[in-house]
Amino acid sequence: MRAQTRHQLKQDAFSRVTIGAAEKTAHWSVEHRNTLTIAAIVVVVIVAAVAGGWYYLSQQNEKASLDMSQAVRTLEAQLRPAGAPAQPGVPSFTSARERAEAAKKQFQAILDKYPRTRSADMSRYFLGVTSATAGDNASAENDFKAVASTGNKELASIAKLALATLYGNTNRTKDAVALYQELINKPTTSVSKVTAQLQLAELYQTSNQPLDAKRLYEQVKKDNPSTEAGQLATQKLAELK
């Protein structure tokens, strides 16, 4: 179900972009009718060439998406006690690190094989996740930074959130705070303002800055009454007393 939802979201996003481009083209055509008539033959040739390119990219995206779903399944596979035998036909691993290493190879293969697909940036994000899980913080940082600099603002914000978490976990509090503040000031659908606020407040709380944590939790409680976020902020405030 989640895979279908993601696929539908991608289709909806593509549709919005396509409709927007069509509207701009229609507006432009009214003002440049003669130019369009003269260039008609050239346009037909270009459209034919682009259509072939779109078909190829579409096929690549479909293949990459299938590989992506398999890699994600590996990342979500069950963990079994050390020494316990694996069940036939049921992927499992003895540790989170072993599972991350296996998934990392799959995500890297997607990135190498389909570098220009929508799945490539997502694979790089998951490479960062698996690297962090395996304790390779330097590689994780590089991957998260690469995704954070892409043109996909939704995925970029998720990468920034992951990068901020990585910084917080490696005693780079100043860098983490700067990223959380950026996400608070420029929220997206994938990383809302309140999400970034709660993450930053938790960082303040765990890094012995209770006054800053209290200030943020009180703000979240005030701005989000009768919501799960507001209730969580209330609980956190009780812990600080």
- The pTM score is 0.73
**Domain 153-241 grouped into CATH 3.40.50.1100:** no
CA-to-CA dists, residue 176 to 25, 106, 199, angstroms: 43, 29, 10
CA-to-CA dists, residue 158 to 5, 86, 152, 162, 241, angstroms: 18, 34, 10, 6, 32
Cα–Cα distance measured from residue 159 to residue 42, given in angstroms and rounded to the nearest whole number: 42
Domain assignments of the chain as residue spans, ordered by start:
57-76+95-150, 153-241
Alpha-carbon Rg for the chain in angstroms:
23
Cα–Cα distance measured from residue 123 to residue 128, given in angstroms and rounded to the nearest whole number: 9
Percent pLDDT > 70 in the chain is 76
Q: What is the pLDDT of residues 116-152, one digit of tens each?
A: 887 888 889 989 988 988 889 999 999 999 999 988 8
The CA-based angle 111-117-123, given to 5 degrees, is 40
CA-wise closest residue to 113 among 55, 44, 67: 67
Q: What is the pLDDT of residues 206-240, one digit of tens each?
A: 999 999 999 999 999 999 998 999 999 999 999 88
